[in-house]
Chain A
Amino acid sequence: MQPLVERRPSVVMVGMGQSECGRGEDRFSSILGSCIAICLYSRQRGVGAIAHVVMPASHGRDSAPGKSADTAVPHLLDLLRKEGISARDVEAKIAGGASMFKISAGTLQIGQANITACTAELERVGIPIVGRDVGGDKGRRIHFECGTGQVRVEIIGCPATTL
């Protein structure tokens, strides 16, 4: 007989380039500017995975897999596969990709490129994007609940929304 172990749901802050996987009431939070949070989850199994994507492409660099859109999506699918979840059972929600400021002509704006790259990568692997809150010029705080796939998006000065 296996011992009864109480598993407490965790709340984890996911920083730039990081990725995580959880289940049930586990929640992940991120603060986003030009970065994108890709949240993948299986509604049936109550398992979710998140990546805090910093830039569109890795260009073959040996970076953290969550850092770039082209490596983050396959990595999240690997994490879910280890939980026995197939890509065809997965839905996606994305948030972020703001252009936070433009001080000069040389200000690097990468928010839109991140949106385009994340969307393209999810389309490439056939994962439907069922919710999105992207673009604009304000930062976002998001909370992703693995079990339900709900993503709560908070923008300063605006009512919170749920994807």
Chain B
Amino acid sequence: MSATTESMPNPIEELFRCATRETADRMTIWTAGSISLRLEGLTETELHEISDHLGPIDRMATMVLLEAEGEIGGTLVLLFDDDSLDAFLVAMTGEPVLPGERTPLQESALLETGNILASAFTGAISDATVLLVLPTPPILLTDYVASVLEQACMAQAINNEKLVLTRTRFERNGEALDWQLVFIPDGAMRDWIDSGPRLRDGAL
């Protein structure tokens, strides 16, 4: 962590830990137990220091993006590294992966993975906060990670000098996987976080 990074208040970190746990449970079912994830932390960071927290972002990657909409929200970015993604797609679809190409079934599997993760994540947040939070349909992108994160950060960056975002750690069969589920709260959720909110009793 950089010197400018600070830990966020505990209830909010617990909220995202709970949401990530729900997400992990769904991911385990979806992948027949082979892939798991957990929250590594909730981070507050300077705009130019995002890569200190998410690893190299000046690379190309395949990403699934969704927005959480409602009373509070944000952008969910599911980041893959191509080698392990290919193995995942072969396991999920039974189809070989050709260089630079994905079949409609493979694209569908990726979008569905995003759908499943986002539904669990936003559902857990909505349940704990008693606020409306719904996922949009997912989109699939292959581009520079930093370019995509730039726009995803914008809703927060307009009014804040530092960004709040979550970091996750993925594992496949117990070994670290270079994937990330990044959640970047929007302006409304950032205001909500900064207001020191209360969560539903017994929510976590």
Binding site for B on A (CB under 8 A): 13, 15-18, 29, 31-35, 52, 54-55, 61, 63-64, 67, 98-101, 103-104, 106-111, 138-141, 156
Contact = CB atoms under 8 A, between A and B. Distances in A.
A99 B150 CA distance: 10
11 contacts: A15-B48, A16-B150, A33-B144, A33-B147, A33-B148, A54-B47, A100-B147, A103-B67, A109-B151, A139-B143, A139-B147
Given A31-B58, A33-B151, A16 B144 contact: no
Number of chain B interface residues as a range:
20 to 34
A51 to B, nearest CB: 12
B141 interface: yes
Contacts of A15: 47-51
Q: Is the interface of A mostly helix, strand, loop or mixed?
A: loop
B136 interface: yes
B153 to A, nearest CB: 8
Contact of B67 (A64, A107, A138): A107
Given A15-B47, A101-B65, A63 B161 contact: yes
A141 B146 CA distance: 10
Contacts, number: 100
A13 B58 contact: yes
Contacts of B157: 16, 54-55
B66 interface: yes
B83 to A, nearest CB: 18
Contacts of A103: 65-67, 75, 136-137, 139
Given A13-B58, A31-B57, A55-B154, A101 B148 contact: yes
B58 A156 contact: no
Q: Which of A13, A32, A33 has the most CB of B within 10 A?
A: A33
B150 A101 contact: no
Interface in B121-138: 136-137
A104 B70 CA distance: 12
Contacts of A61: 161
A98 to B, nearest CB: 7
B31 interface: no
B60 interface: yes
Nearest to B60: A156
B46, B137, B139, B143: most-surrounded residue (chain A CB, <10 A): B143
Contact of B147 (A29, A31, A104, A107): A31
| Most interface-central of B60, B69, B147, B158 (chain A CB within 10 A) | B147
A156 B67 contact: no
A106 B67 contact: yes
Given A55-B158, A104-B69, A16 B48 contact: yes
A98 B147 CA distance: 9
Contacts of B144: 31, 33, 139-141, 156
A54 B51 CA distance: 16
Nearest to A16: B47
B49 A100 contact: no
A4 B186 CA distance: 53
Interface in B95-154: 136-137, 139, 141-144, 146-151, 153-154
